[in-house]
Amino acid sequence: MENRLAVEVEGLTKVFGATLALDAVDLRAARGEVVALLGPNGAGKTTLLKLLSTALKPTAGGGRILGEDLVKGRDLIRRKIGMISHNHHLYEELTAEENLRFAATMHGIRPDRDRIRKALAEVGLETQAGWKVRTYSTGMKRRLVIGKMLLFDPELLFLDEPHNTLDQAAIALLNGYVASVRARGGSAIVATHNLSRAYDMADRFVLMREGAVTRRIEKDRLMVDQLREMYTRYAENDDGDPGAASPARRAGGREPRVGVSEGTW
């Protein structure tokens, strides 16, 4: 039977040298769901995304991504996921078509010219396919990244601050792509500190601070203003949170986990 959970991890911990970057985080996301990780800079959102996407190995904890073991099944996971980051992961000196051909080959996909042309056409870059990426605007680069994702056709999408420096048209294209992944039964985990964008995209919200989850919120329970209020309280301030006294967590003197989790996800 197919696992209904796209993400199922427990106790994910990451230590860099003496710094505890992520402290025993549990997370679940069902297939077809979009989960937003919310928190200020340094909250551990990007580290969590890197662990979930197998770019980093956890110091402790584990789980399953799309039914595959997070550590032992890394290669299988990598075949099923896609990453869209504020850093667009494109080679500036290559053309758009060359970038897609290279990415496809490295992902074990046949770099079929028609398929690449079709992906470029879908994101409106067919006439600029031969341009060097260096000459592209930020919005065009983001469109090209979406074109790359169309080639990979991921079941689970990771987005790290995806709306940074994008104009309205590029934001609409990105949101439309995430919606299309979801419509096909795919899932997405979005790390952002932009609450309105997160509210538009996600079904659930995970508030984070200093490497720990401080609150989990279902969208149907609240309006965007309420989300903002909870964000201020649980992700930015220390209100009602005796475990979050220290700004810099050290691995040697690990502190108790912050906040309370609601529900089982």
Partner 1 sequence: MVVAEVMRRTWAMTWKDVRVELRARERMNAMLFFAALVLFIFNFALGPDLSKLREAAPGLLWLAFLFTGMLGLGRSFQAERENECFEELLLTPGDRESLYFGKLAGNILFMVMAEALILPLFAILYNLEIWAALPGLLLVAFLGTVGFSTIGTLLAAMTAHLRAREVMLPLLLFPLTVPVILGSVKATEALLSGGGLAEASHWVKLLCGFDVVFLVICPLAFEFVLEE
Q: Can you give the binding site for partner 1, defined by CB under 8 A?
A: 53-55, 57, 75-76, 78-79, 81, 83, 85, 87-94, 98, 102-103, 105-108, 132
Which helix (H) or strand (E) is 159 found in, with range?
Answer: strand 156-160
Sheet holding 204-209, edge to edge: 81-85, 156-160, 187-192, 34-38, 204-209, 212-218
**Angle at alpha carbon of residue 31, lines to 26 and 36, rounded to 5°:** 55
* Count of helix runs (H) and strand runs (E) in the chain: 8, 10
**Residue 111 and residue 119: Cα distance in Å, rounded?**
12
- Smallest gap from Cβ 152 to partner 1, in A, equals 10
Distances (CA, A) of 195 to 40, 96, 229, 248, 257: 11, 32, 11, 24, 24
- Smallest gap from Cβ 5 to partner 1, in A, equals 21
**Between 161 and 210, whose beta carbon lies closer to partner 1?**
161
> Which among 89, 173, 157 is positioned nearest to 123, based on CA atoms?
173
**Angle at alpha carbon of residue 52, lines to 75 and 29, rounded to 5°:** 115
- Smallest gap from Cβ 28 to partner 1, in A, equals 22
- Smallest gap from Cβ 90 to partner 1, in A, equals 6
- Smallest gap from Cβ 238 to partner 1, in A, equals 32
**Residue 10 and residue 191: Cα distance in Å, rounded?**
18
- Smallest gap from Cβ 132 to partner 1, in A, equals 7
* H-state helical runs in 53-157: 74-78, 96-106, 113-122, 138-152
Contact call for residues 9 and 26 (beta carbons, < 8 A): yes
- Give the amino acid at 256: P
- Smallest gap from Cβ 102 to partner 1, in A, equals 5
**Between 109 and 222, whose beta carbon lies closer to partner 1?**
109
**Between 105 and 180, whose beta carbon lies closer to partner 1?**
105
